[in-house]
Amino acid sequence: MADAVSAVGGAEFRGAVTVREVGPTGMITLRGDLGSDAVAKAVKAATGLGAVPGEREIGLDGDKGAAWMSPDELLILVPYAEAEKAVTAMEKAPGKAHALVVNVSDARAHFRISGAGVREVLAKGAPVDLSPDAFGAGTIRRSRVGQVAAAFWLSDTDCFDLVCFRSVGEYMFTWLSTAGAKDSLPGYLS
């Protein structure tokens, strides 16, 4: 199989914050009844996490994770090379219960934005309260950034991970680079 090529080729921008494309990331959509044992088993099989994330939560364990996307949808994060294996494990786990498992790794772009002003960079384009009191670790928010849909969460202090559709990956990188330009932050949230 050909090597996976990410949306903007692992580009990096350094300004007031650092924007970096993480590169190919394994992402799996899991749809089903989130309260069911079947989904809990599938999450455990793919990520090793003992709990299904609650509303607007994300559970992370190293390079694996599970994020709440909607009342019937989770996003499973695994290393790119392990995605197919995880899909197979997840399809087996629920048994006869209904669940949908799809590998969407190649349909997405994954960015990491880090630096002291990272909350302000995202706040320029997302209609979300990004103050530390309102948006803490373990929260995932699906919204828009600039003009495109995206989901983001805190992966570390002053470090956001952001995923969007691959088709708008270049737009997202350009937007983040513009919003994160040097000397462009208002200094309101920090």
Half-sphere exposure of 110 (CA within 13 A, CB side): 20
Instruction: Closer to another protein by CB, 68 or 173: give it.
Output: 68
Instruction: Closer to another protein by CB, 13 or 161: give it.
Output: 161
Please report how close the Cβ of residue 8 comes to another protein at its closest, in angstroms: 22
Please report how close the Cβ of residue 109 comes to another protein at its closest, in angstroms: 16
- Contact (Cβ atoms closer than 8 angstroms) between residue 118 and residue 179: no
Q: Return residues touching another protein (CB under 8 A).
A: 55-56, 69-71, 73, 127-128, 141-144, 149
Instruction: Closer to another protein by CB, 44 or 141: give it.
Output: 141
* C-alpha to C-alpha distances, 106 to 14, 25, 96, 157, 182, nearest whole angstrom: 26, 8, 28, 28, 32
Closest CA to 18 of 110, 111, 109, 108: 111
Please report how close the Cβ of residue 79 comes to another protein at its closest, in angstroms: 27
Backbone phi and psi for residue 69, each to the nearest 5 degrees, phi listed first: -105, -35
Instruction: Closer to another protein by CB, 85 or 144: give it.
Output: 144
- Contact (Cβ atoms closer than 8 angstroms) between residue 160 and residue 22: no
